[in-house]
């Protein structure tokens, strides 16, 4: 079981949304308004990405080499930006610390003022392509571009009902994870072991100074046997040497064996395998990273 849904229910919901448009209500995420003449400077100071042209983009907040959070930045107007993410306290603290250097702007918690939705599925791009709405964004999260919608909190229920009437499929966070994993998005960056974390962040959101950061490869594999693996398991070469770690595993409908996303040390080794207890399984690369 995943939350209140069984694995089969998650797969079924994923298939329905994939062939249509799935809508996810993410209004619980933290939302922080950065406003004033130095608003963009504050965000760029906190972030690994300096982006002055895009109206919506994902980035990572860092303090030196310390990871804070992965966030979505939405430009509301010339001097108003909304920062959205899961780590509410960490994000707010990081923004307030940056404001000490940029006093001409204000930071406020707007979590309860806005509703927030994301959309996934094969028909999403076609549906939203010709819509010109100020608070509809298409931002790229790592390797995956999808749509986001901002609305007043008081309209949260009416927005859901509107898209339900258009035959959009409401999906859970667990179903959304399948869309993200299947598009090579790395989640739970804070749980990546420190030996790999900075290298993974650099691969996803290139850091400005990465001279001392070890290079790694992010790879997706399909196990050749139906084993239950986790992020505690290692990846080995045929000689038994550890060459990487598993970040997560997940399953797709109509697939017997699980998929894994892994981090490998360079150079990449051929014919890697996973050990589960006393059992071993070769893993087949999926060449879409």
User: What is the CATH number for 48?
Assistant: 3.30.1360.120
Is residue 281 very low, low, confident or very high in pLDDT (cuts 50, 70, 90)?
Answer: low
Q: Which domain holds residue 206?
A: 189-286
The pTM of this model reads 0.89
Element (H, E) at 98: helix 88-99
Q: Reading across the β-sheet that carries 169-170, which strands appear in turn?
A: 136-141, 144-152, 114-120, 22-25, 169-170
pLDDT in tens, 170-189: 999 999 999 999 898 999 99
pLDDT tens-digit readout, 191-225 = 999 989 999 999 999 887 655 788 888 888 887 77
Domain of 204, CATH number, reads 2.40.30.110
Contact 246, 233 (CB under 8 A): yes
Residue 272 pLDDT greater than 80, yes or no: no
Domain count, the chain: 2
Q: Are residues 161 and 207 in the same domain?
A: no
E strand or H helix that includes residue 246: strand 242-250
Dihedral sign for Cα atoms in the order 13, 14, 16, 21: positive
Same domain assignment for residues 157 and 18? yes
Question: What average pLDDT score do residues 109-124 get?
Answer: 97
> What pLDDT digit, counting tens, does each position of 130-171 carry?
888 889 999 999 989 999 999 999 999 999 999 999 999 999
Mean pLDDT of 15-23: 95
**Residue 127 three-state SS:** helix
- What's the burial of 78, exposed, middle or buried (CB within 10 Å: 0-12/13-18/19+)? exposed
């Amino acid at each position: 079981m995943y939350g209140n849904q069984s694995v089969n229910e998650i797969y079924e919901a994923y298939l329905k949304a994939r062939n249509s448009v799935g809508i996810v209500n993410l209004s619980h995420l933290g939302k922080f308004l950065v406003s004033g003449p130095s608003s963009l400077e504050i965000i760029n100071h906190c972030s690994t990405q300096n982006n002055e042209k895009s109206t919506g983009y994902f980035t990572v907040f860092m303090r030196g080499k310390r990871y804070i959070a992965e966030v979505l930045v939405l430009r509301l107007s010339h001097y108003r930006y909304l920062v959205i993410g899961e780590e509410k306290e960490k994000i707010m603290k990081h923004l307030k610390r940056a404001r000490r250097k940029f006093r001409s702007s204000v930071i406020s918690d707007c979590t309860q003022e806005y509703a927030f939705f994301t959309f996934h599925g094969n028909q999403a791009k076609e549906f939203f392509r010709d819509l010109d709405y100020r608070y509809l964004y298409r931002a790229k999260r790592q390797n995956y571009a999808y749509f986001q919608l901002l609305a007043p909190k008081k309209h949260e229920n009416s927005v859901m009902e509107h898209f339900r009437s258009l035959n959009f499929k409401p999906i859970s966070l667990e179903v959304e994870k399948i869309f993200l994993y299947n598009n090579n998005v790395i989640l739970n960056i804070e749980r990546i072991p420190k030996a790999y974390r900075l290298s993974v962040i650099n691969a996803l959101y290139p850091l400005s100074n990465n001279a001392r950061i070890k290079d790694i490869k992010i790879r997706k594999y399909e196990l050749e046997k139906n084993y239950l693996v986790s992020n505690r398991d290692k990846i080995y070469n045929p000689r038994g040497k550890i060459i990487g770690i598993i970040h997560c595993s997940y399953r797709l409908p109509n697939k017997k064996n699980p998929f894994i996303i892994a981090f490998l040390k360079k150079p990449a080794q051929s014919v890697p395998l996973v050990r589960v207890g006393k059992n071993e399984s070769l893993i087949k690369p999926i060449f879409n990273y």
